Structure 1
Amino acid sequence: MEKQTIKNLSEEYLMWLQVERRFAQSSIVSYRSRLKCFVRDVGDIDLSEFTMEHIFKLKQILYKRENSEVFIGVCLACIKGLLKYYRDQYSITLKINPDLITIPKRPRREVVFLTSEEIQRFRDSIDINPICGLRFRTLTEVLLGTGMRISEALSLDRTSIDFETKEALVIGKGSKQRTIFFNEESIMWIKLYLERRTDKNPALFITTGKNRLTNQDNTRYFKRQRKIAGINKKVTPHCLRHCFASHLAFNNCPFTEIKTLCGHERLDTTIKYYIGLTDKSRAKQAHEQYLKY
């Protein structure tokens, strides 16, 4: 049998992840990048000769570069998955037990969200006179009004939205279909944006070059707008998703409904991210109300 190296088996493994495990395209792109980095840094190892020394070498390199725990975790999960795939699909006995490769625990990330006043400042700072400004304001309102992931929002076509029911079907994380709901404000901005468009492109959000907008196209807009609005927080599309969920929680929306609206697979994911926020808010209110000397 032909020698199987990381480079030889990568595309087959990635296709398997996409088809059998329903990995999102963004995850496939990330895994492909990590596998190429491994080959560059450690070598295109024959998988049947792979040992724990190779893993240790990778960890040394990543820690020396001061990569984040999350980045290191994805790198290790990627190579661990490739080794398990090779072992199980090809019935090969490996020199390494992939199950012994430990993945660093992800540190709990602080949920960054904007206050109502900051949201309004961000909105008001957007110049909607140029079409790109109107597009950015519309995207902002769609993210705030639906809680969609940016990949879901950018996958929308004009025909995806039922303007009567204010709903749309999207393919979310794990290639799962879900229904998302628009508020009146987001629908209004979508209509304003589409009225200004003169092209036939079916995509809801497009570049000035008439191609479907990508998340990379948006990065600079969010960074620039945050500075214009005078907001000292990192404002990203995911931050607006946190705004959506956080403000629902502050307004006493049940966590089961927030889970559905955000498209979380597990209720404990929703609770893990957002229950601490409401606890902190209530604790502060109690401190102000009851602390008397």
Structure 2
Amino acid sequence: MQADHALSLFDGHLKTQNRSEHTLIAYHNDLIQFFDFAARELGEEPEKITVDQVDIYIVRSFLGEMTDRGLERKSMARKLSALRAFFKFLCREGILQKNPIQRIATPKLGRKLPHFLSIEELDKLIHTPDCTTLLGARDQVILELLYGSGLRVSELADLNRQDIDEGTSLLRVRGKGNKERIVPLTHYALEAARKYLNMREDEQEALLLNYQGSRLSVRSIRRILDGLALEAGLSQHLHPHMLRHSFATHLLDGGADLRSVQELLGHAKLSSTQIYTHLTKERLREIYEQSHPRAKKM
């Protein structure tokens, strides 16, 4: 079977798997790049390549070229993940009898510790919006939900009015893979949302609107946060995920157990949450060295 036909079948398969649009595009582009490389290796035109022409040596050569280009291990792992899923699909469908990628190991990823804000920095940030204006009241909701409930920025942008349950102070969130979870709302977040919605004069279902009255996009939220960070005098670029990182770190610092934080964040695996324990351990070490007389260097 020609590679472009197989890729079209695989694209259709992924769409039935509740994969995010970002993943669909990334996998498609990674596979196009791979087959362009395979065509050069085989001395063929890309449109003439068939999937049964691919062997382990072509895959290894492709990964070698990506390494020579200085591709980060995280990007390399994603390309390998796309290839694994693609060839596994072809074997399962009976299009291929042998998986050319079966014996290739995934590169180990070094995990970077996430950046988070101190409580003092968050206090400055949260008191920055002018809540007497409609847009300022909206920006307050953004901060209170990203930090107070640990939402991903995409989850925040997708929220509707009816997702807030004022009676129970709970919020319904649609996470990765369209999975729903229920998270608590702080008193401050609930009050901020109530004030903002009372100031609006529209019937839109979206919780957050831009100045034109349309649903606020992820990109716009990022831009708003950058402006608020600058206004608050923060020295670092404020990525939305930093507020989620701060939420998790401060919970663990305050004594929350790891399983509860995992559930609040909507992590499928506990290992995704465990990275925050490194941050709290570092903080404990710092406090210990500052406070214990035998820990201080002479």
Superposed pair shares fold, TM > 0.5: yes
Question: Structure 2: which 5+ runs fail to align?
Answer: 40-45
- Mapped contact 1:167–1:180 kept (Cα < 8 A): yes
- Mapped contact 1:112–1:233 kept (Cα < 8 A): no
**TM-superposition CA deviations, 1:137-192 (whole Å, max 9, x none):** 31111111111222222221111111111112223223322111111111111122
- Mapped contact 1:59–1:72 kept (Cα < 8 A): yes
C-alpha change, 1:32 and 1:218, in structure 2 (3 Å) is farther
Aligned to 2:14: 17
Correspondences of 1:241-260 after superposition (within 5 Å): 241-260=244-263
Distance (whole Å) between structure 2 residues aligned to residue 183 and residue 230 of structure 1: 25
Distance (whole Å) between structure 2 residues aligned to residue 89 and residue 225 of structure 1: 51
Of 251, 265, 268, which residue of structure 2 is paired with 1:265?
Answer: 268
TM-score in terms of structure 1 length: 0.86
C-alpha change, 1:221 and 1:37, in structure 2 (3 Å) is farther
Correspondences of 1:66-85 after superposition (within 5 Å): 66-85=70-89
Of 192, 212, 223, which residue of structure 2 is paired with 1:220?
Answer: 223
Moved more, 71-80 or 191-200: 191-200
Secondary structure at the aligned position of 1:90 is classed as coil
Aligned to 1:290: 292
C-alpha change, 1:14 and 1:182, in structure 2 (3 Å) is farther
Aligned: 1:155 with 2:145: no
Moved more, 197-206 or 57-66: 57-66
Correspondences of 1:1-293 after superposition (within 5 Å): 3-5=1-3, 7-20=4-17, 22-39=18-35, 44=46, 45-94=49-98, 97-128=100-131, 131-270=134-273, 272-292=274-294
Question: Structure 1: which 5+ runs fail to align?
Answer: none
User: How many percent identity over aligned positions?
Assistant: 23
Distance (whole Å) between structure 2 residues aligned to residue 148 and residue 29 of structure 1: 24
Structure 1 residue identity aligned to 2:7? S
C-alpha change, 1:205 and 1:287, in structure 2 (3 Å) is same
Structure of greater Rg: 2
Distance (whole Å) between structure 2 residues aligned to residue 103 and residue 88 of structure 1: 21
**TM-superposition CA deviations, 1:194-217 (whole Å, max 9, x none):** 223223221112233333222222
